[in-house]
């Protein structure tokens, strides 16, 4: 069973259908992206942190140092949250990253990588801001990786992944941080001496080896202690296998989506996912296997955080497996007349002031009218210009739904539905509204 303790995120966009298979799943989504990887990183960090007195600074043009450092975020946590991971250029700190450092009141920064990766000019720039710095680095990415691993105390488990690609490390990163488990990089066909020495010095009770037979050669397994393999035919299947292996430790009230083809958006995103140990799903050209996995595990109530701008909406809601069935409004929104305490009608032409309906019988009468519509999600909607009737539905003083009566019909401001059955009958709605307020002015 999946862990369900995570407090839901505050969402920016409501009502986009994401994963819908046998079960009709409604997912709340928000997208965090900027004009480049540094702006995107800033958006991700500011959405997840108000303060991070200790932060980790990594080179934004490679993945190995950043993903090696994800387990350190828990070690350097500030209060209830882990440390943030920030991206930098080699020779200077981008403005977006500097703005984040100031807004989060960062006092201490751990720089990952040698001066050939992040130059002394960056370190000097931080020191000039009054920020304390320390640096973790080795002769190459494998030695740097082990130096980072040595910062973790009481290690008993390790995750072994290829150092030649980012996907497996990204998949396991939130879990590794939660378990105080170093992510150990190795070449695809050998175990470096520095890794062998690390293993000798620690009592490793479990080596989770990800990608044997695909991203890692089978020959390395015999050189590792207490191996448990997590495999899949490609990076996306391995991503799901990792999530499935550790599902009892994951909180699925929120699911992070990032590109399986580009690592940049996942670097700060992996650290964000560690705060509540949320799964990080890799998405490629489609998300069919991801949807199938969520459905088979009965995961139907979650928030979605999309990292970066490289994931197209087609990958999220454009699959043929998405729920584009014809349905009634009540089946799509799950809003019933019995729970509604008032409806406020708005006149797009400006002829009438907003009209409030609180009579239970009149509310039920309007729901009978809504029941006459059959609609389905519009794949490529031609957006309507203007509307005459719009209704907002409330339970007490909380708005729970709104509908603009145009074609395609607009539900909850952002979702467009083609009308399959039922006419946009302006006269019928006018008559209904006039039955409530005799002064209501008809539309011609």
In tens digits, the chain (444 residues) has pLDDT values of: 566 443 333 222 222 333 333 333 445 577 888 889 999 999 999 999 999 999 999 999 999 999 999 999 999 986 677 999 999 999 999 999 999 999 999 999 999 999 999 999 999 999 999 999 999 999 999 999 999 999 999 999 999 999 999 999 999 999 999 999 999 999 999 999 999 999 999 999 999 999 999 999 999 999 999 999 999 999 999 999 999 999 999 998 888 999 998 999 999 999 999 999 999 999 887 677 777 777 777 666 667 888 987 765 444 433 333 345 678 888 777 788 888 999 999 998 889 999 999 999 999 999 999 988 999 888 777 766 678 999 999 998 888 899 999 988 999 887 888 898 888 888 899 999 999 999 999 987
Q: Where are the beta strands (DSSP E) in 180-302?
A: 183-186, 206-210, 227-230, 254-259, 280-283
**133 with 127: CB under 8 angstroms?**
yes
Tell me 154's DSSP state. Answer: S
What is the model's pLDDT at position 8? 34
Nearest to 279 by CA among 231, 309, 247: 247
What is the model's pLDDT at position 384? 64
Which tokens sit at 141? 């990415």
Coil, strand or helix: which one is 206?
Answer: strand
What is the model's pLDDT at position 284? 83
Coil, strand or helix: which one is 268?
Answer: helix
**158 with 181: CB under 8 angstroms?**
yes
> How far is 274 from 277, CA to CA, in rounded Å?
4
Question: For the chain, what's the residue count?
Answer: 444
What is the model's pLDDT at position 2? 64
Nearest to 200 by CA among 163, 162, 152, 150: 150
Domains of the chain, first to last: 28-317 (no CATH), 329-436 (3.30.1490)
DSSP element (H, E) containing 419:
strand 415-421
What is the model's pLDDT at position 190? 96
Coil, strand or helix: which one is 422?
Answer: coil
157-162 and 183-186 beta bridge pairing: parallel
Query: Which residues does residue 258 pair with via DSSP β-bridges, in sequence order?
Result: 282
Nearest to 344 by CA among 395, 411, 384: 395
pTM above 0.75, yes or no: no
DSSP 363-400: HHHHHHHHTT-EEEE-SS-------SEEEEEEETTEEE
What is the model's pLDDT at position 383? 66
């Amino acid at each position: 069973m999946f862990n369900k303790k995570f407090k839901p995120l505050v969402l920016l966009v409501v009502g986009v259908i994401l994963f819908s298979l046998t079960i009709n799943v409604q997912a709340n989504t928000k997208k965090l992206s900027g004009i480049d990887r540094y702006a995107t990183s800033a958006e991700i960090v500011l959405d997840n942190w108000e303060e991070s007195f200790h932060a980790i600074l990594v080179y934004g043009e490679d993945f190995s140092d950043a993903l090696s450092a994800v387990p350190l975020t828990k070690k350097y946590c500030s209060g209830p949250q882990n440390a943030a991971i920030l991206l930098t250029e080699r020779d200077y700190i981008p403005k977006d990253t500097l703005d984040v450092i100031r807004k989060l009141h960062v006092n201490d920064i751990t720089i990952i990588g040698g001066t050939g990766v992040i130059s002394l000019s960056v370190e000097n720039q931080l020191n000039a801001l009054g920020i304390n710095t320390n640096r973790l680095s080795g002769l190459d990415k494998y030695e740097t990786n082990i130096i980072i691993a040595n910062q973790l105390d009481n290690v008993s488990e390790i995750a072994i992944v290829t150092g030649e690609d980012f996907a497996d490390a990204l998949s396991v990163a939130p879990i590794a941080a939660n378990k105080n488990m170093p992510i150990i990089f190795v070449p695809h066909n050998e175990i470096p001496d520095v890794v062998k020495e690390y293993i000798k010095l620690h009592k490793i009770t479990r080596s989770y080896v990800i990608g044997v037979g695909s991203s890692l050669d089978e020959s390395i397994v015999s050189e590792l202690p207490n191996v448990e393999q997590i495999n899949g035919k490609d990076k996306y299947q391995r991503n799901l296998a990792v999530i499935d292996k550790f599902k009892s430790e994951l909180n699925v009230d929120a699911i992070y989506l990032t590109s399986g083809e580009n690592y940049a958006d996942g670097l700060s995103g992996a650290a964000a996912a560690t705060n509540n140990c949320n799964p990080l799903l890799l998405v490629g050209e489609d998300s069919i296997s991801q949807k199938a996995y969520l459905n088979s595990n009965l995961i139907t109530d979650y928030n979605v955080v999309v990292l970066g701008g490289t994931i197209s909406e087609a990958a999220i809601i454009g699959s043929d497996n998405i729920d584009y069935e014809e349905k009634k409004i009540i089946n799509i929104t799950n809003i019933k007349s019995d729970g509604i305490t008032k409806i406020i009608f708005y006149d797009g032409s400006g002829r009438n002031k907003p009209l409030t309906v609180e009579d239970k019988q009149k509310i039920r009468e309007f729901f009978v009218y809504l029941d006459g519509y059959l609609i389905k999600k519009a794949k490529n909607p031609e957006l309507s210009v203007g509307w005459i009737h719009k209704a907002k539905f409330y339970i007490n003083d909380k708005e729970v739904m709104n509908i603009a009566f145009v074609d395609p019909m607009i539900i909850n401001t952002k979702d467009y539905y083609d009308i399959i059955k039922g006419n946009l009958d302006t006269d019928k709605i006018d008559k209904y509204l006039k039955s409530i307020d005799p002064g209501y002015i008809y539309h011609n």
